[in-house]
Chain A
Amino acid sequence: MYVLPVPQMRFLLLFSRQGKLRLQKWFTPLVERERKKVVRDMTLMVLGRPPRSCNFLHWKDLKVVYKRYASLYFCCGLDDKDNELLALEVLHRYVELLDKYFGNVCELDIIFNFEKAYFILDEFLMGGEVQETSKVTVAKSIEASDMLQETMEEYMSKPAF
């Protein structure tokens, strides 16, 4: 992993209790092989934690913050100097946004609508930083983008994918 002069979030991963990857967002450039290794290591480490452990661990020179929501683990890699308590709030906010969008979100929603999960994430974080702190504003942007999509599809009377 690189040593960056300014602390930033390096990646955000979602995976199931069986270790299946559901979303991967990378905020620093890594080749495919390196990405796969990180995913493997994170999955092994997080799934191997005893219950009732704290939500932080150390991996190489990074802090890893993770939280389980139902059957999904949300896991992000932070710089050693980052605020891990705030990272928990970031993860929680993302879950809230997903919940608002999908209505009582569950893992299946994320599986079948993974591209939407990415779109929502891209309205909330950019380059590992929070870009919008208001839940309402993020929800409105997503809604409007979705409308834009549908409108164009309807116009072209072609099926959406």
Chain B
Amino acid sequence: MPAPIRLRELIRTIRTARTQAEEREMIQKECAAIRSSFREEDNTYRCRNVAKLLYMHMLGYPAHFGQLECLKLIASQKFTDKRIGYLGAMLLLDERQDVHLLMTNCIKNDLNHSTQYVQGVALCTLGCMGSAEMCRDLAGEVEKLLKTSNSYLRKKAALCAVHVIRKVPELMEMFLPATKNLLNEKNHGVLHTSVVLLTEMCERSPDMLAHFRKLVPQLVRILKNLIMSGYSPEHDVSGISDPFLQVRILRLLRILGKGDDDSSEAMNDILAQVATNTETSKNVGNAILYETVLTIMDIKSESGLRVLAINILGRFLLNNDKNIRYVALTSLLKTVQTDHNAVQRHRSTIVDCLKDLDVSIKRRAMELSFALVNGNNVRGMMKELLHFLDMCDPEFKADCASGIFLAAEKYAPSKRWHIDTIMKVLTTAGSYVRDDSVPNLIQLITNSVEMHSYTVQRLYKAVLDDISQQPLVQVASWCMGEYGDLLVSGQCEEEEPIHVTEDEVLDVLEGVLVSNLSSPITRGYALTAIMKLSTRFSSVNRIKRVVSIYGSSIDVELQQRAVEYNALFKKYDHMRSALLERMPIMEKTTTNGPTEILHTNGEAEPSVRDSKHPPNIPQPSSQANDLLDLLGGNDVVPVIQTELPTKPASSGGELLDLLGDLSLSGVPAPAAPISVSQPTFLLDGISSQPLFNDVAGAIPPMTAYNKNGLKIDFTFERSNSNPNVSVITIHASNLTEVDMADFVFQAAVPKTFQLQLLSPSSNVVPGLNKGTVTQVIKVLNPQKQQLRMRIKLTYTHKGSSVQDLAEVNNFPTQSWQ
């Protein structure tokens, strides 16, 4: 059998392959040869074959059939074999497969070998890829070597110990004795790896951290020597002595000084020294300064030192080297929260970085700029950021736009400025603006009442130029539909009013409807806007025409709207003006409040209590229709309380007692005149802003009363038939062990309201939260005043009767607006 081809020969051959297929063929041929050589158990050439296999593996070809061969090489006595064998193990073996455990014994033997390079290569392998089991088995050997006087082995043992601790943290303790004199070493390799080992132990264990704090003075001394000592050629990098060691010491000092006054004080001087004396012309000096800054910011340093650190970062920002600028921006971003004022001083430099060519730097500069915006600098900053928005790559535009909106909302110096800023964003980056910005902007616009005509005029002008940016067109359509009357009336205080006719406005909106550029959602906005103008403009016929055309649109959404709007023109014309009137100021949509949390009181056995059946309360069916009577303006008793058989029928007198400062007319008063009498159904989809449908539905529940174990929650619904009526359902629950019997809930409201109580579900609130009593209250609030309520609760509990009065004032605004 001829000797297998040599490694370099193979590499040369494979590189001559001109195609992937040719290469594959060569590889397959060689692999076959190697496989048969392995089968023959050839000791002489095993090393060569495995080396070739590793080369082919690097090219991407499978080499798993060489795994066992690596193990055989490791077991060989030849150093060449061991070297390649261990290399192969690190590349081909995987700690998830059991086969790697076969290495353990070989490594153990090699750790005790007479030649330090054999020991070294074994330590290296263990320290790179040792699994948890291997580490457990061999930790003792590593610990022994950590105490040797041979610095070559000691430094490797230290890093191997680091790996063991990473894999099996419980073994940390056993290395503690060996760490005793580590820092007394003169050898830089041992020093460096020792610092790494100490760092690992301190980061993982607070006890170790406390134990090693006493090393701070020694570490400070070592660092000082490094800085002050003369030129040492062996460890010099561009005039700096052993930067790797300096950085690791600084990092360890950071960990030891964090949160500890004494340690922090002990290192203040050396940190100041490193910060001021380190040469900054090359990357290596800046690497040390960077680590120093991180340390200063993390420990309890005195303020002068902190300012020094921020100033270093500020100088970094002006460095020609973009890596340094990038690192500075990243660090400033981390410190901007804690040292805001100091970072503010570098604002102009940071803003200049927005113009940097490097993408990573631009992004960091943008994030930092937003963090620095405050009430004082908002005008200047926004100018820069708007300019950036205009010039930047598309990948930034969405984030930048959102950032500008947020900052503008927080710090806008005036409403006009705010609207102007929004306009600029929409016209500059209108297609990149996030979808949720549109409703937010609309809400903002409705709130700036005095700016309505200005806003709609500017939006109109913007849309005349360009209807391709969907968010801009959507906001503009909405505004034109809502404030079209202001637009044509030619009144605008903020700027020169433009002359627009109704037809011109309708032209624009119709243009949006038919344009290919408009998305379906935008079309929906436009159609609704046109419809709204039917109550604001006089050219109703034109609008009717448009609406009827879209009644047969292919787009289902448009079709539905058009059909319903059509119906509004025909059958429900009397409702049209009320439905399409000016929108009220919208509250910011809050997320739904948490649903009622039920408190469970453990599993106590229910005590025997008198079984009182909830009385069956016959209710006249006219109660339900009373609501309609209220609306119809018939004479109405202000408060209607449902009757329980055990209570006297007339409750008017008692109620008057409740009133106190709540004035309630005891005389039936005519209900406030209501302009429109509504039928009991409503056409869906009429609301002009579909995205706001959810607002009405999401009224959060509230706890009205919670005392002595009785908890009463209110949940809300809007009445479908009348927007002035709130339907409140009370849920009474009882957390005590004993039921509350004869439970009666009474309520009174201020003069401008009217209240109706429907019958309760029962008059016993079972204990231990085993059930709730519910009762429906209907409150009519035609003047949309803030709802207040006084409630009176009576019940019998544990044999005695309980009575309590309470005021309920914390109604969510959505419930009465």
Residues of A at the B interface (CB closer than 8 Å) are: 4-6, 8, 20-24, 26-27, 29, 31-32, 36, 50, 52-58, 83-86, 88-90, 93, 111-112, 114-115, 118-119, 122, 126-127, 129-137, 141, 144-145, 148-149, 152-153, 156, 158-161
Rounded to whole angstroms, the CA-CA distance of A28 and B291 in the bound complex is: 24
Given contacts A115-B51, A136-B234, A161-B6, contact A149 B357 (CB under 8 A): no
Which residues of B lie under 8 Å from residue A135 when comparing CB positions?
234
Taken residue by residue from 151 to 169, chain B's Cβ proximity to chain A (1 for < 8 Å, 0 otherwise) reads as: 0100110011011001000
**Contact A54 B322, CB 8 Å, known A89-B287, A156-B78:** yes
- State whether B128 touches A126 (Cβ < 8 A): yes
B6 adjacent to A54 (CB under 8 Å): no
Contact assessment for B87 and A134 in the assembled complex, using a CB-CB cutoff below 8 Å: no
The answer to whether residues A131 and B189 also contact, given A53-B360, A145-B83 and a CB cut-off of 8 A, is yes
B453 within 8 A of A: no
Knowing A24-B58, A29-B94, A161-B6, the reply to whether A131 touches B284 (Cβ < 8 A) is no
* Partner-binding segment picked from B26-34, B191-199, B513-521: B191-199
Q: How far is the CA of A25 from the CA of B102 in the complex (A)?
A: 22
The answer for the CA separation of A23 and B589 in the assembled complex, in Å, is 56
Enumerate chain B residues within 8 angstroms of A148, measured Cβ to Cβ.
79, 115, 117
Q: Is B581 an interface residue (CB 8 A)?
A: no
Name the B residues within 8 Å of A145 (CB-CB): 79, 83, 117, 120
**Interface pair A126/B124, CB less than 8 Å apart:** yes
Contact A85:B80 (CB < 8 A) given known A54-B361, A133-B242: no
A113 to chain B minimum Cβ distance, whole angstroms, is 8
Binds A, one of B243-251, B266-274, B502-510, B542-550: B243-251
A29-B94, A85-B327 are known contacts. Are A158 and B79 too (CB-CB below 8 A)? no
A112–B80 touching, CB < 8 Å: no
Q: Is B47 an interface residue (CB 8 A)?
A: yes
Known: A56-B326, A130-B192. A85 touches B84 (CB 8 A): no
Q: Which residue of B lies closest to A52 (CB)?
A: B357
Bound complex: CA of A149 vs CA of B115, how far in Å? 12
**Chain B count of residues within 8 A CB distance of the other chain:** 81
Q: How far is the CA of A32 from the CA of B251 in the complex (A)?
A: 33
Q: With a 10 A CB-CB cut-off, give which of B3, B91, B117 has the most chain A CB atoms.
A: B117
Q: Which residue of A lies closest to B95 (CB)?
A: A29
If A85-B286, A158-B44 touch, does A132 touch B189 (CB 8 Å cutoff)? yes
**Given A21-B58, A115-B51; A86-B152 close (CB under 8 Å):** no
- Decide: A86 near B244, CB < 8 A? Known: A29-B129, A161-B6, A161-B48: yes
Question: Which B residues touch A126, using CB under 8 A?
Answer: 123-124, 127-128, 156, 159-160, 163
CB distance from B292 to the nearest CB of A (A): 11
Asked if B159 and A54 sit within 8 Å, CB to CB, the answer is no
The answer to whether A132 touches B155, judged by C-beta atoms less than 8 angstroms apart, is yes
Can you give 28 A-B contacts (C-beta < 8 A)?
A6-B204, A20-B59, A21-B60, A52-B358, A54-B326, A83-B290, A85-B323, A86-B287, A89-B287, A111-B11, A119-B87, A126-B124, A126-B128, A126-B160, A127-B128, A129-B193, A131-B156, A131-B159, A131-B193, A133-B242, A133-B245, A134-B188, A134-B234, A145-B79, A148-B79, A149-B80, A161-B45, A161-B80
> Could you tell me the distance in whole angstroms from the C-beta of A109 to the nearest C-beta in chain B?
11
Flag whether B237 is at the interface (Cβ < 8 A): yes
**Smallest beta-carbon distance B24→chain A, Å:** 15
- Contacts A29-B94, A29-B95 given: A129-B196 contact, CB under 8 Å? yes
Of listed B11, B127, B188, B327, residue having the most chain A CB within 10 A: B127
Contact of B360 among A56, A86, A114, A152 (CB under 8 A): A56
**Bound-state Cα–Cα, A133 to B15, Å:** 36
Which residues of chain B come closer than 8 Å to A159, judged between CB atoms?
A: 3, 6
B58 touches A130 (CB 8 A): no
List, in ascending order, chain A residues with CB within 8 A of B325's CB: 54
Known contacts A127-B159, A127-B163; is-contact A137 B189 (Cβ 8 Å): yes
Contacting pair B83 A119 (CB below 8 A): yes
Q: How many CB-defined contacts (below 8 Å) exist between A and B?
A: 180
Residue of B nearest to A141 (CB): B152
Interface of chain B: mostly helix, strand, loop or mixed? helix
* B91 contacts across to A, CB distance below 8 A: 24
Interface pair A134/B189, CB less than 8 Å apart: yes
Q: How far is the CA of A96 from the CA of B245 in the complex (A)?
A: 18
Given A4-B166, A130-B192, A131-B193, 20 further pairs, Cβ under 8 A: A6-B204, A29-B131, A53-B322, A56-B326, A56-B360, A83-B247, A83-B291, A85-B286, A90-B244, A93-B244, A119-B87, A126-B160, A127-B127, A127-B163, A131-B155, A132-B189, A133-B245, A141-B152, A152-B80, A159-B6
Residue of A83, A122, A136, A160 near B287 (CB, 8 A) is A83
List chain A residues, Cβ under 8 A from B131.
Answer: 29
Contacts A53-B360, A129-B193, A133-B188 given; does A115 touch B163 at CB 8 Å? no
- Interface presence of B552 (CB below 8 A): no
Complex A-B, nearest 10 residue pairs according to Cβ-Cβ distance, in ascending order: A85-B287, A161-B48, A132-B189, A126-B159, A54-B322, A86-B287, A6-B203, A127-B163, A134-B234, A133-B244
Q: How far is the CB of B15 from chain A (nearest CB, A)?
A: 8
How far apart sit A148 and B189, CA to CA, in the bound complex (Å)? Answer: 22
Tell me whether A85 and B159 are in contact in the complex, defined as CB-CB below 8 angstroms, given that A126-B128, A131-B189 are known contacts.
Answer: no
Distance, CA A55 to CA B96, complexed state (A): 34
Given known A-B contacts A27-B128, A131-B192, A152 and B121 have beta carbons under 8 A apart:
no
Q: B59 contacts which chain A residues (CB < 8 A)?
A: 20-21
When chains A and B are docked, how far (Å) is the Cα of A55 from the Cα of B361? 11
Say whether, besides A53-B359, A89-B237, A129 and B243 are in contact (CB < 8 Å).
Answer: no
Q: Are A88 and B283 in contact (CB under 8 A)?
A: yes
Most central of A52, A86, A90, A130 by chain B CB within 10 Å: A86
Inter-chain contacts of A50 with B (CB < 8 A): 359
B651 to chain A, nearest CB (A): 66
Report A-chain residues with C-beta under 8 Å of the C-beta of B12.
Answer: 112
Q: Whole-angstrom distance between the alpha carbons of A122 and B188 in the complex?
A: 17
Kindly list chain B residues whose C-beta atoms are within 8 Å of the C-beta of A119: 83, 87
B87 interface neighbour in A32, A55, A58, A115, Cβ under 8 Å: A115
* Contact call A86/B243, Cβ cutoff below 8 A: yes
CB distance from A49 to the nearest CB of B (A): 9
Find chain B residues with CB under 8 A from A54 CB.
Answer: 322-323, 325-326, 358, 360-361
The docked-state distance in angstroms from the alpha carbon of A122 to that of B15 is: 27
CB distance from B87 to the nearest CB of A (A): 6
Which residues in A have their C-beta under 8 angstroms from that of B6? Answer: 159, 161
Would A161 and B360 be within 8 Å (CB), given that A29-B94, A86-B244, A115-B87 are in contact?
no
Is B745 part of the binding interface, using a Cβ–Cβ cutoff of 8 Å? no
Residue of A nearest to B152 (CB): A141
Q: Closest Cβ of chain B: how far from A61's Cβ, in Å?
A: 14
> A126 — nearest CB in chain B belongs to which residue?
B159
Q: Give the chain A neighbours of B636 by CB distance below 8 A.
A: none
| In the complex, residue of chain A having the shortest beta-carbon distance to the beta carbon of B189 | A132
B281-295 interface code vs A (CB 8 A; 1 in, 0 out):
001101100110010
Q: Which residue of B lies closest to A88 (CB)?
A: B283
The smallest beta-carbon distance between B549 and chain A, in angstroms, is: 51
A88 and B287 within 8 A (CB): yes
Most buried by B among A27, A36, A52, A130: A130
Nearest-CB distance from A69 to chain B (Å)? Answer: 15
Inter-chain CA distance A26–B359, complex, in Å, is: 29
CB distance from A45 to the nearest CB of B (A): 12
What 1/0 mask marks residues of chain B from 723 to 737 whose CB sits below 8 Å from any chain A CB?
000000000000000
**Counting CB contacts under 8 A, is B8 at the interface?**
yes
Distance, CA A81 to CA B245, complexed state (A):
18
Contact, CB under 8 Å: B96 / A22: no
A residues in contact with B156, CB < 8 Å: 126, 131
> In the assembled complex, which residues on chain B have CB atoms less than 8 Å from the CB atom of A84?
323, 327
Kindly list chain A residues whose C-beta atoms are within 8 Å of the C-beta of B94.
Answer: 29, 31-32
